[in-house]
Structure 1
Amino acid sequence: MKIAVFSTRNYDQQFLEQFNTGHELTFFTQSLSLQNIPLTQGFDALCLFVNDNADAQVLAKLEENGIKLILLRCAGFNNIDLFAAAETGIKVLRVPAYSPQAVAEHAMAMILTLNRKTHKAHNRTREGNFSLEGLMGFNLHSAKVALIGTGNIGKAFYNILVGFGCQIMAYDPYPDKELTAKGLQYGTLEQVISGADIVSLHCPLLEDNHHMINTTTLQLFKKGAMLINTSRGGLINTPEVIAALKSGQLGYLGIDVYEQESKLFFADHSSEIMTDELIARLISFPNVLITSHQGFFTREAMEQIAQTTYANVDAFASGSALDNEVRE
């Protein structure tokens, strides 16, 4: 099949070329949008990432251009209008799991960095400052952790937390039987986050959990607690999180995702003026750690993404069962 790959970076091209099963690829650095729809002419399928836009307007134009298939090289699909895709007959396939340990390990790296302030210590010692003032952290052993979402990534993160000796309680509309058998206790969102030292988000972004972390839920956190988001930016209400940081209700914030990240992430803006006032405000806090959607970014994950993407396109081309199809 002829496949247009959008939002391409060097690493995407490297792994997609390495594991190609015989398809014709054309790479575009641009993210898919209504403005660059003409780029999709002459292709059978598109390969998209998290910040590509496939809303109803875009999908209608893609149908006109003869696009039959959208291959998501990610697990999330909140950037796709699935109802519109079904109306146009365009199939949407995703990569439901790719090294969940990668994201889980990144979440723990953010916790350890924020808690023990190793990034600040590193900068100090490089300047000859060996003082410990302002570097005090807290023991993760026995800390209460609210685990929000226990899918593949949440389960991987649970196992890490167990190794640190944390007290874990989880919220998920669909409790995992394997984790329940191991002794994990589930509760309502309110029960789980109440009094938590750390709240870590590991769930997809859906209509009913948009801005699930807001002024109301933040008030249930233990004062000075830590919030980690390696899932989707829209899970948190950024202005209200900033207000909680300013008041001290929220003591630490680690985010690998941001609701407006499509205009920022995966590109170098170091020579530009930062016009996004929210991200600029977050960067100014000493107790905030931001990474640019790199939680997935390990060699093993990139290999799995490429292999599953080609398994998806090969299944479509051969008329086989579409195990990874996403439907409304």
Structure 2
Amino acid sequence: MKFIAYNVRQDEQNYFEKWAKENAVPVKLVTEELTDENLPLAKGYDAVISFQTGVYPSDLFDKLASYGVKDISIRNVGVDNLDLASAKANKIAVTNVPAYSPNAIAEFSVATLLQLLRNQNIYRKRMAKNDYRWAPFVGKEIRALTIGLVGTGRIGKAALEIYRGFGAKVIAYDPYHDPKLEAQGLYVDTLEELVSQADVVTLHMPGSEGYLIDEALIKKMKPGAYIINTARGSLIDSKALLEALKAGRLGGAALDTYEYETPIFNHDLEDIGVKDELFNELVALDNVVMTPHIAFYTETAVENMVTIALDSAKAVLETGTAPTLVE
């Protein structure tokens, strides 16, 4: 049994090496993400350990099957960029890491909301010019707001507990109700009902086909409401969001993920800049907090992502299945 891991960052390397030693399983580490050019490196390996939010090679599973690979174990949650039908046709198991640290993402989402509510962008810019006046940018308190959770899985529930600690009123929407939360009367029936009541709409769900938050839904949101997205960039129509922010219909947005983020996030663009004008307009707004998909990025989460992905691959090869198997 031997594995190959792609897109291995320096902060992950020790966890890979520790696991390989403890489990007596060789793991080849490749720093580049998985591409058509380096896919042949997987020849002769039993499992591929991968992490990327962008595009995989179109014939990924056909090639992996021809190489003898039996499992692809991804170190993240989302599988929307993988052709699961092709994986099944080629009899290649797919596993993910459904919960590497719900608290990491939940905490980050609340932290970015606090930056919005307390006008941190504006004060940072003022202080850079030695302007230390307060007015007229008075802040808001979380406990005075209605928080609308979209998605009540592990991350959504972690966020719920944090918001309750602040004393906020929380409502939730999820097609699949958690019985305990339902008994508490948290759920509303539709997404439209949630956005019409919530001062803050915070997204904690997987990617979906089409936009979840589009122009029509934004128009149904409360005037001055905030959007928090630490989930998937594809959930929000970025152009419609920008127009609503510029027009003052929304109070602000905290975006840790962006619809067209693949060529931007986790790349050093200091010398060439960002060519995406939509992104540049969003980032320039005082009422937008943009971060490069780092909500997950804590020591605990990184270790869990590596070890769970490796454990899952090992389980598939030894038993034919794993608790994290994606059906």
TM-score scaled by length of structure 2: 0.93
Check conservation: 1:229, 1:254, Cα contact below 8 A.
yes
Map of 1:211 onto structure 2: 211
The code of the aligned residue for 2:142 comes to L
CA distance in 2, matches of 1:81, 1:134: 51
Map of 2:240 onto structure 1: 240
Deviations 1:165-213 (A, max 9, x none): 2221111010111222344233211111114211100001133xx3110
Check conservation: 2:12, 2:303, Cα contact below 8 A.
no
CA distance in 2, matches of 1:181, 1:142: 24
CA distance in 2, matches of 1:158, 1:51: 26
Deviation at 1:122, TM superposition (A): 4.6
The code of the aligned residue for 2:304 comes to Q
Change (3 A) 1:118 1:168: same
Change (3 A) 1:67 1:227: same
CA distance in 1, matches of 2:324, 2:301: 17
CA distance in 2, matches of 1:46, 1:320: 15
CA distance in 2, matches of 1:46, 1:318: 15
Change (3 A) 1:127 1:15: farther
CA distance in 2, matches of 1:301, 1:182: 30
Give matches, 1:279-294, under 5 Å. 279-294=279-294
Map of 1:16 onto structure 2: 16
Map of 1:121 onto structure 2: 123
Map of 2:176 onto structure 1: 174
Check conservation: 2:245, 2:251, Cα contact below 8 A.
yes
Cα-Cα RMSD = 1.9
Check conservation: 1:223, 1:249, Cα contact below 8 A.
yes
Check conservation: 1:92, 1:326, Cα contact below 8 A.
yes
Which consecutive residues of structure 2, in runs of 5 or more, have no partner in the other structure? none
Map of 1:314 onto structure 2: 314
Map of 1:193 onto structure 2: 195
Change (3 A) 1:273 1:302: closer
Check conservation: 2:77, 2:99, Cα contact below 8 A.
yes
**What secondary structure is seen at the aligned counterpart in 2 of 1:34?**
coil
**What secondary structure is seen at the aligned counterpart in 1 of 2:16?**
helix
Which consecutive residues of structure 1, in runs of 5 or more, have no partner in the other structure? none
Q: Does 1:67 pair with 2:69?
A: yes
Deviation at 1:237, TM superposition (A): 1.0
Map of 1:145 onto structure 2: 147
The code of the aligned residue for 1:99 comes to S
CA distance in 2, matches of 1:275, 1:42: 40
Map of 1:33 onto structure 2: 35
**What secondary structure is seen at the aligned counterpart in 2 of 1:251?**
strand
Map of 1:76 onto structure 2: 78
Map of 1:58 onto structure 2: 60
Check conservation: 2:253, 2:288, Cα contact below 8 A.
yes
Identity %: 34
Deviation at 1:238, TM superposition (A): 1.0
The code of the aligned residue for 2:154 comes to N
Deviation at 1:125, TM superposition (A): 4.2
Change (3 A) 1:13 1:302: same
The code of the aligned residue for 1:250 comes to L
Check conservation: 1:168, 1:185, Cα contact below 8 A.
no
The code of the aligned residue for 1:136 comes to V
**What secondary structure is seen at the aligned counterpart in 1 of 2:94?**
strand
Deviates more, 1:96-105 or 1:172-181: 172-181
Check conservation: 2:198, 2:222, Cα contact below 8 A.
yes
Change (3 A) 1:276 1:226: same
CA distance in 1, matches of 2:70, 2:56: 13
Deviates more, 1:122-131 or 1:286-295: 122-131
**What secondary structure is seen at the aligned counterpart in 2 of 1:169?**
strand
Q: How many residues align?
A: 325
**What secondary structure is seen at the aligned counterpart in 1 of 2:28?**
strand
CA distance in 2, matches of 1:199, 1:26: 42
CA distance in 1, matches of 2:281, 2:257: 15
Deviation at 1:281, TM superposition (A): 1.7
Check conservation: 1:256, 1:290, Cα contact below 8 A.
yes
CA distance in 1, matches of 2:59, 2:249: 41
Deviation at 1:224, TM superposition (A): 1.7
**What secondary structure is seen at the aligned counterpart in 2 of 1:19?**
helix
Check conservation: 1:50, 1:76, Cα contact below 8 A.
no
Q: Does 1:111 pair with 2:117?
A: no
Map of 1:224 onto structure 2: 224
Deviates more, 1:14-23 or 1:118-127: 118-127
Change (3 A) 1:29 1:120: farther
CA distance in 2, matches of 1:218, 1:298: 32
The code of the aligned residue for 1:279 comes to F
Change (3 A) 1:52 1:45: farther
Check conservation: 1:8, 1:29, Cα contact below 8 A.
yes
Deviation at 1:124, TM superposition (A): 4.1
CA distance in 1, matches of 2:136, 2:313: 52
**What secondary structure is seen at the aligned counterpart in 1 of 2:142?**
coil
CA distance in 2, matches of 1:321, 1:29: 28
CA distance in 2, matches of 1:257, 1:44: 32
